[in-house]
Amino acid sequence: MKVLLFLTMLFSPFVHANKKGNDIAAMVRDATKGYRGETATIDLSISYSSGKKRKRTFKTKLKEERSGGYSLLATFTAPIDLVNTKLLTVVSPSGYNQWLRMGNLKNVTKIEANSSSKAFVDSDLSYEDVAGLSSANFKSRYVKDSQGGKVWVLDQSPNKKSDYSKRSVYISKMHKYPIAIYFYSKSGKKIKTAEFKNFKKYKVNGKTFRLPSTYTIQNHVSGSQTTVQYKNRNLGVKFLKNDFSAKNL
């Protein structure tokens, strides 16, 4: 799930800050370009405030698009009631679209904008989060350096309809990738925290990518937490166009 696209603001006193934010964003975007395609198995572990836990497993196909966006297909393999459930997400600079097919049912449902804030398979990820971790739909502004100068902090506000008012992104200068994202509600309250850990190196055509193998989403409203664990991750994979067709779900 890739990172970052941007818009320059023209109004003082933020011109310099936003230019720096855009420069950083462009650097991060360039660092995450060129992976072509990716396959992985993902374990999703959900811990509720009640103490109850749930697990989901799905396989992903991720295709880099020339537009700067991506196509992501998630196919569930566990638990039994979700087997063969598929979610297709197509992200572009103009926004994103999602389609869902439950189990072995033939009907494919398009996720409407007013449903994008709903929980994805009972986790702390919303349907918007699945698409929105790519910052294609956000404006960026440089805030400060942090952690002894090892991290850039950008504030991002949505330029499309969103359930969030903004998010604060902490980007590792070494990895050129976020290590934390703080999500804020329309009222300005921090409602979620995402932390990215256990970075690993991958090489595709001589280029090195540093990507997290684990990330957690802490929900400050419900008290629950979701952990995402990547396994069998491969970059540089080639796909057919029909692999990401809503008609073929």
With a cut of 50, say whether residue 18 has pLDDT above it. yes
With a cut of 80, say whether residue 47 has pLDDT above it. yes
Pairs from 146-153 (Cβ < 8 Å, separation ≥ 24): 146/170, 149/173, 150/174, 151/179, 152/24
pLDDT digits (tens, 9 = 90+) for 168-225: 999 999 999 999 999 999 999 999 999 999 999 999 989 999 999 999 999 999 999 9
pLDDT digits (tens, 9 = 90+) for 139-168: 788 999 999 999 999 998 887 778 889 989
pLDDT at 7: 22
With a cut of 80, say whether residue 12 has pLDDT above it. no
| Residue with the larger pLDDT of the pair 132 and 241 | 241
With a cut of 60, say whether residue 41 has pLDDT above it. yes
pLDDT at 159: 76
Nearest CA to 60 among 88, 95, 34?
Answer: 88
Q: What is the CATH number of domain 15-248?
A: 2.50.20.10
pLDDT at 10: 22
* Residue 156 neighbours by CB under 8 Å, 6+ apart: 135, 138, 139, 140, 141, 166, 167, 168, 169
pTM metric for this prediction: 0.86
Domain boundaries, the chain: 15-248
What's the one-letter identity of residue 244? F
